Amino acid sequence: MKLKLKKLILKKSKSKIVCLTAYSKNFSQILDKYCDVVLVGDSLANVLYGMNDTLTITLEMMINHAQSVIKGIKNSIVVVDMPKDTYSNTYDALKNAKKILKKTRCDAVKIESNNKNFHIIKKLVDSKVAVMGHIGYTPQFKKKFKVHGKTTNDEKKLINEAIKIQNSGAFSIVLECISARTSKKITEKLKIPTIGIGSSINCDGQILVTDDMLGLSGFYPKFVKKYSALNKIIEKAVQKYSKDVNKGSFPTKNNSY
């Protein structure tokens, strides 16, 4: 296992793990100064391509964006989401995971759990591919959004699922939209770090889609804190540019050769 991944595991219960998404060098070189993990998430389907879900994003699209992201990284761990249907069996999973690592030089891949693909994680880890797990609301497998872990029965299932992912060799696990009580129990039971998104402060770390927290995506569920309103800042800049062009005040001599 890479030294960076070992250091991340050692942060469990000692200091919080900071994670955000990136799809380009412009963002990743900023995030690299502050984040332990930069995720090239399949959320780029919604954020950049205007798709209704993440189900049709391709492996090639993920690789292209990951190649851009890695150019801005010096310190952070880079994890790349494996798109739906690229890890349906051990053969495809290993072939596609190795392709991602070879073409992007990322540190790990992330796989959403369907409570059946633990053997996929084990196969990848045994083949020297680092894997981040993902449970709770998993958009690749669940069409309707809901908060998980509210009932005792659901809590037990999630704890069991998380333990199986850990035992399969994952170095960390994303808990998405899991109740505070259940995320706390999972975090306490696991030896590997938990990264929460909509799963309370009880996790070892937190991740958000960067465009959401910057006010760019227009998607603001309860679990997202909007740290900026870049959409308004960008609109004002574009509006001023438009006026300058129409008035003939841009470009000036200083902007011309």
DSSP conformation letters of 25-40:
HHHHHHHTTT-SEEEE
Separation between Cα atoms, residue 170 and residue 132, nearest integer Å: 5
pLDDT digits (tens, 9 = 90+) for 191-210: 999 999 999 999 999 999 99
Active site residues: 176
Tell me, yes or no, if the pTM score tops 0.75: yes
Separation between Cα atoms, residue 200 and residue 140, nearest integer Å: 22
Helix H or strand E segment including 252: none
Separation between Cα atoms, residue 199 and residue 186, nearest integer Å: 11
Separation between Cα atoms, residue 16 and residue 31, nearest integer Å: 16
The reported pLDDT for the residue numbered 1 is 76
Structure tokens at 57: 């994003």
The reported pLDDT for the residue numbered 194 is 98
Query: Which amino acid is located at 204 in the chain?
Result: D
DSSP conformation letters of 199-238:
S-TTSSEEEE-HHHHTT-SS---TT------HHHHHHHHH
Separation between Cα atoms, residue 28 and residue 22, nearest integer Å: 6
Between 2 and 192, residue with greater pLDDT: 192
pLDDT digits (tens, 9 = 90+) for 99-147: 999 999 999 999 999 999 999 999 999 999 999 999 999 999 998 999 9
Share of the chain above pLDDT 70, in %: 100
